[in-house]
Amino acid sequence: PLVLGIESSCDETGVGIVRGHELLANEVASSVDLHVRFGGVVPEVASRAHLEALLPTLHRAAERAAAAADVDLTEIDAVSVTAGPGLMGALVVGLAGAKALAWALDKPLYAVNHLAGHVAVDLLEHGPLPQPAVALLVSGGHTSLLRVDDVATSITEVGATIDDAAGEAYDKVARLLGLSYPGGPVIDRAATGDPAAIAFPRGLTLRRDLERHRFDFSFSGLKTAVARWVEQREAAGLDVPVADVAASFQEAVCDVLSAKAIDACRELGSTDLLIGGGVAANSRLRALLAERAEQAGIALRRPRPGLCTDNGAMIAVLGAEVVDRGLAPSSFDVAANSSLPVSTVAL
């Protein structure tokens, strides 16, 4: 099916157009520059930016699809849109836009889950997903391990962070190192030092933690450990070796993420591991996982970095999967849900 997808859950306004697993257009407008001086996304500012960006982004995507595949918006089979999770005011803008578009074009509307979109986007690059697959979802607001039996109908969370998300840890550590926002890409670039310079803690990997939290994560202790290390260093009047701290922090995050992801594949009998979400763009995570997956005989599916962060194509391809399974469209009364669980793929 030919599907147009709209994403507006955080600070990216995205419009994507796909035909099945074929990407025809993917236009993203980010309001990140407006949030930099606040050191994080300001919901009011994000909502307003979505309102301003939605129509221009939609028009750009339509032009792209027309140029790339001679596709006209009147030919689409459905409109899909992020219904949650995310910032309520931001979600509402995309959802209202999607309803208006679907109504005007007289097409069915599919309200879908943003996190399932981070998983589904991989189909655009690597085709149908073998079952069951394991997905490591690592983003700004979420960090979990998922068993994916069918991306449109059956996603089960087998583990999740018990405190901060991985992306959140990156953002907080960047701030305490005096680096800019968003911290993920900045630390990725700053981590040129020795990853073994400082032995930062690996959350929930001790034997006693593994009994109850084998597939869970914890990053708040790591963040505190980095803060304390930096404070002690400053108190002693010494320089903070940012490249070493960043590399050591990043190693601690990526070590745990990749070890638990591989372990989940073994436990669930999956030979395919997929990664998604903004932190899946991280160069060290991608490299370490490639190494460990190969050793374990697991096929690693890594969407290109530009598809890991928020975009409309991920919502379009998830919509296409939902259409393909013959699920009923959403009601035009459908509401945004800021804490939609990943197991609810479509509303």
Question: Which residue reads 């606040």 in tokens?
Answer: 38
Q: Which of 3, 7, 11, 167 binds Mg ion (CB under 5 A)?
A: 11
Binding range to Mg ion, per CB under 5 A, among 9-17, 71-79, 90-98, 337-345:
9-17
Of 10 and 279, nearer to Mg ion (C-beta) is 10
CA distances from 275 to 25, 40, 248, 261, 341 (A): 22, 24, 22, 9, 18
What's the closest the beta carbon of residue 9 comes to ligand ATP, in angstroms? 6
What's the closest the beta carbon of residue 98 comes to Fe ion, in angstroms? 17
337 is in an annotated binding site: no
The residue count for binding ligand ATP (CB under 6 A) is 24
On whether the CB atoms of residues 300 and 293 are closer than 8 A, the answer is yes
Q: From ligand ATP, Mg ion, Fe ion, none, which one binds at residue 89 (CB under 5 to 8 Å depending on kind)?
A: none
Cis status of the peptide bond prior to 56, with omega within 30 of 0 = no
Binding mask 162-191 for ligand ATP (x = CB under 6 A): -----x--xx----------xxxx--x---
What is the spatial distance between Cα 23 and Cα 319, in angstroms, rounded to a whole number?
13
- Check binding of 312 to ligand ATP (CB under 6 A): no
Of 165 and 225, nearer to ligand ATP (C-beta) is 165
Buried (b) or exposed (e) across 303-332, using 16+ Cβ within 10 A?
A: beeebbbbbbbbbbbbbbbbbeeeeebbee
On whether the CB atoms of residues 4 and 79 are closer than 8 A, the answer is yes
What is the spatial distance between Cα 288 and Cα 203, in angstroms, rounded to a whole number?
18
Q: What is the CA radius of gyration of the chain?
A: 20
- Check binding of 164 to Mg ion (CB under 5 A): no
Binding-site residues for substrate, in ranges, read 137-141, 171, 184, 188, 282
Q: Which residues bind to ligand ATP, rule: CB under 6 A? A: 9-10, 85-86, 114, 139-142, 167, 170-171, 182-185, 188, 277-279, 281-282, 309-310
Which residues line the annotated binding site for Fe cation? 114, 118, 310
| Binding site residues, Fe ion, CB under 5 A | 139, 310
